[in-house]
Amino acid sequence: MERNTMIVAVDGYSSTGKSTLARDIARHYAIKYIDSGAMYRAVTLFALRRKLYDPVRDQLNEERLREALEQIDIDFLVDPQNHQQYVLLDGENVEQEIRQMEVSQSVSMISRYGFIRRKLVDKQRAFARRDSLVMDGRDIGTVVFPGADVKIFMTASAEIRTRRRYDELLGKGYHVSLEEVRRNVEERDHVDETREESPLRKAGDAIVIDNSHLTRHQQLQKAVQIIEEKTGKTTG
């Protein structure tokens, strides 16, 4: 089907700065940004709050969560004052809650369930029906938008990703150890790569950006160069 919109898919490992790059691309081209990972975090938070998921036993009440997914609403709000984007769960701003370690430790377990992924993929595709957008996640270029105009795959060394995540959590006031964060990064990589439903993998036509030693500006420059070469689009 022909369309006049542009879709940029940014996939990759956890703590590689996918969201930062996707936001910067969206700002550069004045298009919409959708954080797909935040949607899975919102579902995880919902399941934890409602006691539908037991992280100790790794047990999910699938029947009740299936029913709930038909009703819950996940959306995004941009604050006109600071231009920051927030995740809304049934109208509640849960941006801070979904970034906590409790959610981080469970989100990969929750997102491996096929019925959850299929429901959120439907919601993600709905965002692109009318607007150009940048979406980041783990299966955007392979499952959600296999026909995306541009596909970027982000990577960085595990050591650097651990340090980034650790510094981020400390900066937000969370008390965690570097070892705890390292285990979380490794566990999420393993679950993401080995799950049966939409495992993390690079699309065949995706361009890799290793930002282990890139500044924020440098990675944006690389992404813009890739987008211009693929689409010819320069500014929004």
Domain parsing of the chain, residue ranges: 7-227
pTM of the full structure: 0.79
Cα 189 from Cα 193, distance rounded (Å): 6
Does the structure show a pLDDT above 80 at 32? yes
Cα 99 from Cα 45, distance rounded (Å): 10
Average pLDDT over residues 24-47: 93
Q: What is the pLDDT of residues 193-208, one digit of tens each?
A: 988 888 889 999 999 9
Q: What is the pLDDT of residues 108-131, one digit of tens each?
A: 899 889 999 999 999 999 988 888
**The one-letter amino acid at 170:** L
pLDDT confidence bin for 1, thresholds 50/70/90: very low
CATH number of 7-227: 3.40.50.300
- Mean pLDDT taken over the chain: 91
**The one-letter amino acid at 14:** S
Q: How many Cβ atoms sit within 10 Å of the Cβ of residue 56?
A: 5
Cβ contact 206:153 at 8 Å: yes
Cα 119 from Cα 184, distance rounded (Å): 26
Cβ contact 135:22 at 8 Å: yes
Does the structure show a pLDDT above 90 at 173? no
Q: What is residue 3's predicted lDDT score, i.e. its pLDDT? A: 55
- 15 torsion bin: left (phi>0), alpha (psi -120 to 50), beta (else): left
